[in-house]
Structure 1
Amino acid sequence: MSPKSIRVCLSPALLPFYDLSDTIAVVIDIFRATSSMCYGLANGANAIIPVEELAECLSYRSNGHLLAAERDGKVVEGFDFGNSPFSYTKDKVEGKTIVLTTTNGTRAIQRCIGAEAVVIGSFLNISALTDWLKNQSRHILLVCAGWKNHFNLEDTVFSGALVHRLKTTDIELDDAAYAAESLYLEAQGNLSTYLSKASHSKRMQHLQIAQDVAFCLLEDQVSVIPILKGHELVPLTLPHLL
């Protein structure tokens, strides 16, 4: 086996160029899908089913699940809610299964199928995720959901934060990992101010949901690590070594 590596995929459009074998894929959509996934499972949701299309999400309505849909930062009409973390509180999701489709995050998850494992990362669970990844022997691929296949700042900065926490002299980094870490080191002194210039942060401010941005930048609010089992995201049971 080659030395353990950490690679950063800066857009889901680049995923076809990565070998997912012997690899843990960490899907990252900081504003807001993966933050809400972590928060929802921490608040007692049974599972979250990520799907790509609105029609597929609607097909679950007869199952009694909560249906959540977001497009371009807005809740889609006819669904229970979108991907704001404030929709994933204990009183709303405990004991429920949520079917979720979003502009970027759920699509990135689907494109990672084939990896040894697919887990979910956010600032909300960064320390728990870091500790778990440190104990894994597989390669790590940090997958930025981006915005409609374009690079985005917040997912890349979070990838850099993980690289900074995980790197050792025995781990190989690719160029994107070095670049992501450099962005994080520039941002870490004032993450909120730095990411306020991100296009999606501005988009959310325009939609008057700036409080979501602030919440999604809080570190270590939960210890849950969502992992894809079949077609569902469920809490990872520790220890879980790969």
Structure 2
Amino acid sequence: MNTIEVCLTHELIHQHELEGKVVVITDVFRATSCIVAGLATGVKAIKPLIEVEDCRTLQAEGWLAGGERHAQLIEGFDLDNSPFSYMEERAKGKKVAMTTTNGTLAVNKSMAADEILAASFGNLTATVSYLKTLQKDVIVLAAGWKGRPGLEDVLFAGALALGCQEFLQTVGDSTHLAIAGYDVAKGNLLEYMQRASHLHRLKNLSGGKDIPFCLEIDQFDVVVKLNEAKELVAL
């Protein structure tokens, strides 16, 4: 039986053997929530980059530039790191060069994997269903915040692992911790998340709309995968 294991922060991903495996990146507040929402509603592709200047280079070639540093809009960028930005009419049919403090870094640290997916609560069930077709070992990489675990990402990792239990064996203490955390929080994710440190950094952004949106389960029936051009696209 193939396995599923949770990695609690991108700073720990080097401890995992990625070759031949699927890595599911999650950065609930807010990179992968933006990515899923955007691709589900008309964005053509999103290229996850580490450096701001790499985004500016593509922006000069006609791409939109999106992302954040320290949860704030980057000067001169078209889109911030709110999922609502990625669902705007101006983003439809466009390619977006994206850089964020944690999420796009996590993607780039996972390039040795056989396949990379981006997921959030918004496409939880679609991602579970896709993983069921692969018959491969899975690592769920909870991006976290500047090397530290993020409660929101760990809870999503637990939800994903729980959804895959029928066809993937859960391994590792971090996986069981994530599942236990989600089991406690699932009755009211928004209320439980009031204790999350990253929520307090974000709660005044986008008029307070982002947090409940990012925690809403199964808004979109879309799977997000990194293609050969190293662009995230909807399958």
TM-score by length of 1: 0.93
The one of 166, 169, 174 equivalent to 1:168 is: 166
Aligned partner letter, 1:41:
L
The 1:170/1:158 distance shift into structure 2, 3 A limit, reads closer
The one of 197, 200, 209 equivalent to 1:199 is: 197
Question: In the alignment, does 2:224 pair up with 1:233?
Answer: no
Q: How many angstroms does 1:210 deviate by?
A: 2.3
CA distance in 2, matches of 1:195, 1:90: 27
Q: Which moves more between the two structures, 167-176 or 48-57?
A: 167-176
Q: How many angstroms does 1:90 deviate by?
A: 4.8
State the percentage of identical aligned residues: 38
Q: How many angstroms does 1:235 deviate by?
A: 1.2
The 1:208/1:46 distance shift into structure 2, 3 A limit, reads closer
CA distance in 2, matches of 1:98, 1:39: 13
CA distance in 1, matches of 2:92, 2:167: 42
Partner of 2:35: 37
Q: How many angstroms does 1:208 deviate by?
A: 6.0
* Structure 1 residue matching 2:145: 3-state secondary structure: coil
CA RMSD of aligned residues (A): 1.3
Aligned partner letter, 1:147:
W
The one of 179, 182, 186 equivalent to 2:180 is: 182
* Structure 1 residue matching 2:139: 3-state secondary structure: strand
Q: How many angstroms does 1:199 deviate by?
A: 0.6
Which structure 2 residue ranges, 5 or more long, are not aligned? none
Aligned partner letter, 2:142:
C
The 1:68/1:19 distance shift into structure 2, 3 A limit, reads same
* Structure 2 residue matching 1:106: 3-state secondary structure: helix
Q: In the TM superposition, what are the counterparts of 1:1-242 in structure 2 within 5 Å? A: 3-168=1-166, 171-207=169-205, 209-229=207-227, 230-236=229-235
Where has structure 1 moved over 2 Å in runs of 4 or more? 206-210
CA distance in 2, matches of 1:143, 1:209: 29
* Structure 2 residue matching 1:87: 3-state secondary structure: helix
CA distance in 2, matches of 1:19, 1:159: 18
* Structure 2 residue matching 1:103: 3-state secondary structure: coil
Q: How many angstroms does 1:76 deviate by?
A: 1.1
Contact kept? 2:79, 2:86, Cα under 8 Å: no
* Structure 1 residue matching 2:195: 3-state secondary structure: coil
TM-score by length of 2: 0.96
CA distance in 2, matches of 1:166, 1:102: 28
CA distance in 1, matches of 2:143, 2:168: 27
Deviations 1:44-89 (A, max 9, x none): 1111011001111111122101011301111111111211011011
Q: How many angstroms does 1:92 deviate by?
A: 2.3
Q: How many angstroms does 1:206 deviate by?
A: 4.2
Aligned partner letter, 1:63:
E
The 1:75/1:23 distance shift into structure 2, 3 A limit, reads same
